[in-house]
Structure 1
Amino acid sequence: MSPIVQGILTIIIGVGGCIGYFYASNILLDRVIFPPKTDDQGRNIRRATMVRPWLFLLPAILALGLYLVYPVVGSFLRSLYNRSGEEFVGLGNYVQMFSEHGFRVALFNNFLWVVFVPAGATFFGLLVAQLTDRLKWGNIAKSLIFMPMAISFVGASLIWKFVYAADPDIGIINAIRDYFGAAPVDPMQIPFWNNFFIMFIMVWMQTGFAMVILSAALRGIPEETIEAAIIDGANPFQIFFRIKVPQIAGTIVVVWTTITFLTLKVFDIVYTMTGGNFDTEILPSYMMDYMFRDDGRATAVAFVIMVIVTPVMIWNIRQARREL
């Protein structure tokens, strides 16, 4: 069967199944479980009203349990065994993992990513959003800045791989150095700083996302507050930092945490640029490395990543709800 036919059948069966489930569940609830034509009609209607939302949520709850809860619990239990799953090692995988230098390097690099990438992308996004709103060709500038969002992580990494190339005939950085008579260097092999060169790729890609969200927030600020500040003698810097930024602080936090959540899951950029070599390893690439070894630590690393991501996700959801 061709993939197109499979997709069409899946849509038909899925949509038809949902419609059939909701129709049948309503009939079962209203006519069988809590029939209205009884001596206790009012009570049955109230019971049906209380049960009905959970009846509609049941498919989603089952799907979340099957595709989210079960894999999380299963992954944790799997991390307590060796690679073959035959020998129970308890927390041995975690003890070995935390005692290894490579894991500590990956954990430290992840910390750098979480600190600098969301901060850089949010800062540049806010700066661009403010400046482009004052330009006649601001929409064109926004389109150009947003374009990297349409590129995959691998594609963006390949672009910047040419920028960072050690050959002066290819790499822009070394071409500039060669023009001034300096010897060529490979930015990807400079200890510690190579992480920032890689992080800049992520900042470059996510600045457009931050710009779009923050630009909409800036345009939603009441003009009355800005006019009042101008009348009181506030300069442009005071208007921006004391009037505008406090009013969009909630949106800034949402953008920050959203990029943080994405940063914690990044893998493609590091793998494409260095393969995790030269002390650029991060937790996802570290996990990928152990997936191909005779070791059970890959699942333990995956669980650690989930534990780190969960608080950020919860914080992001709470902030998003406050914005509604």
Structure 2
Amino acid sequence: MNEALIQTITAVVVSIAFCLLYFAGSNLLLDKLVDASSGSKNRKEGIKSGIRPWLFLAPAMLLLGVYLFYPLFETFRLSFFDATGETFVGLSNYTWVFTDQNFLITIRNNFMWLLVVPATATAFGLIVAVLADRVWWGHFAKSMVFMPMAISFVGASVIWKFVFDFKGPDSEQIGLLNAMVMGLGRKPQAWVTIPFWNNFFLMAILVWIQTGFAMVILSAALRGVPQDTIEAARIDGASELQIFFEIMVPQVMSTILVVWTTITITVLKVFDVVMAMTGGQWDTSVLANLMYDWMFRGGGDYGRSSTLAMVLMFAVVPVMAFNIRRFRTEEAQR
């Protein structure tokens, strides 16, 4: 324990010292090089002002290049090669993707996740944000709803494994859901093995986690709705439902879209929940799981796993582009 703590402190100190030395040294070198060149003082100051920001950006850009852009380019290149990554096969991997039965099931599952999770988590978050402000224990309720956000996806999956647990038809059940079912006089079920419906049981885990995120963001947005408008609507005889749908929701629609697109990106990249709960069995696999299977199970296939990674990236990019475009539009309107 002490050794690990010493290593951690040493790493932090070395990292900070390196950053300070880099920025101090690079700025000193810039000053010397520019001052040694010919030109007026104003011109030299202009050169320094133009270069200095890039000195601060250089480490981040280097890391992005090494750990983001190069892997992206290499993944794209490998998607045109065979399993070993040595023989060029053209578009055959992309042809395989859209004809493989497992991939079609995976796409169906991803589509269902995209339809259900972002909309449900956003709706629940909005409802909780509105109702929690109307009761005295609202802060406690918000804390409880937000708490799952502090749990990792794997940790949440372990918790929900106990909820869906099934010990066999003749065994004593410890799963909460089976206990409720047996209390109603029904037989217990192995819920995560039921084809098609098991996807919705897995989705419930991510909804449980992301509702807290949606609630926090939307709660902050709702505080920006003018109270004078709400009071005027009440005086005019508007019901609470009318106030909610015709005043509150339109006022925070831009925030709702941001929350929805953020959760959508999370859903497209979902991996942990499915891996921890079912391992992709019983027709529950999603794109990230299928990519993992082709890369790290059965010997590894560089070509097909890279192709699946590119499909996943192509699915995420439009959502991110929509989010960025909307953000720029809002910034231009301010």
TM over 0.5: yes
Using the alignment, how far apart are the partners of 2:162 and 2:308 within structure 1? 32
Pick aligned residue for 2:267 from 263, 266, 286: 263
Structure 1 gap ranges (5+): none
Shift of 1:73: 0.5
The corresponding residue for 2:322 is 315
Cα contact 1:34–1:47 (8 A) shared by 2 = no
Stretch moving more, 78-87 or 257-266: 78-87
The corresponding residue for 2:24 is 23
Matched, 1:209 2:213: yes
Q: How many residues align?
A: 323
Q: Please, what is the CA RMSD of the aligned residues? A: 2.3
For residues 179 and 55 of structure 1, do their structure 2 counterparts lie closer, same or farther at Cα, with a shift above 3 Å needed? closer
Supply the AA of the counterpart residue of 1:312.
Answer: V
The corresponding residue for 2:298 is 293
Supply the AA of the counterpart residue of 2:243.
Answer: I
The corresponding residue for 1:89 is 89
Cα contact 2:145–2:212 (8 A) shared by 1 = yes
Using the alignment, how far apart are the partners of 2:3 and 2:95 within structure 1? 48
Using the alignment, how far apart are the partners of 1:143 and 1:102 within structure 2? 40
Shift of 1:221: 1.9
Stretch moving more, 175-184 or 147-156: 175-184
Stretch moving more, 255-264 or 88-97: 88-97
Using the alignment, how far apart are the partners of 2:4 and 2:210 within structure 1? 33
Shift of 1:144: 1.4
The corresponding residue for 1:280 is 284
For residues 279 and 23 of structure 1, do their structure 2 counterparts lie closer, same or farther at Cα, with a shift above 3 Å needed? same
Structure 2 gap ranges (5+): none
Shift of 1:126: 0.4
Shift of 1:163: 2.1
Shift of 1:258: 1.2
Using the alignment, how far apart are the partners of 1:166 and 1:32 within structure 2? 72
Shift of 1:85: 2.5
Stretch moving more, 267-276 or 110-119: 267-276
For residues 98 and 183 of structure 1, do their structure 2 counterparts lie closer, same or farther at Cα, with a shift above 3 Å needed? same
Deviations 1:256-297, CA, capped at 9 Å, x for gaps: 111111111111211222221111111111112112124331
Using the alignment, how far apart are the partners of 1:258 and 1:158 within structure 2? 24
Any residues of structure 2 matched to 1:127-276 within 5 Å, and which?
A: 127-167=127-167, 169-276=173-280
The corresponding residue for 1:98 is 98
SS at match of 2:98: helix
Deviations 1:132-170, CA, capped at 9 Å, x for gaps: 100001111111111222222222222222222345722
Stretch moving more, 285-294 or 27-36: 27-36
Identity of aligned residues (%): 52
SS at match of 1:293: coil
The corresponding residue for 1:40 is 40
Cα contact 1:34–1:45 (8 A) shared by 2 = no
For residues 227 and 3 of structure 1, do their structure 2 counterparts lie closer, same or farther at Cα, with a shift above 3 Å needed? same
Stretch moving more, 83-92 or 111-120: 83-92
The corresponding residue for 1:122 is 122
SS at match of 1:183: coil
Shift of 1:35: 5.3
Using the alignment, how far apart are the partners of 1:35 and 1:234 within structure 2? 74
Shift of 1:240: 1.3
For residues 31 and 179 of structure 1, do their structure 2 counterparts lie closer, same or farther at Cα, with a shift above 3 Å needed? closer
For residues 238 and 175 of structure 1, do their structure 2 counterparts lie closer, same or farther at Cα, with a shift above 3 Å needed? same
Supply the AA of the counterpart residue of 2:117.
Answer: V
Shift of 1:65: 0.8
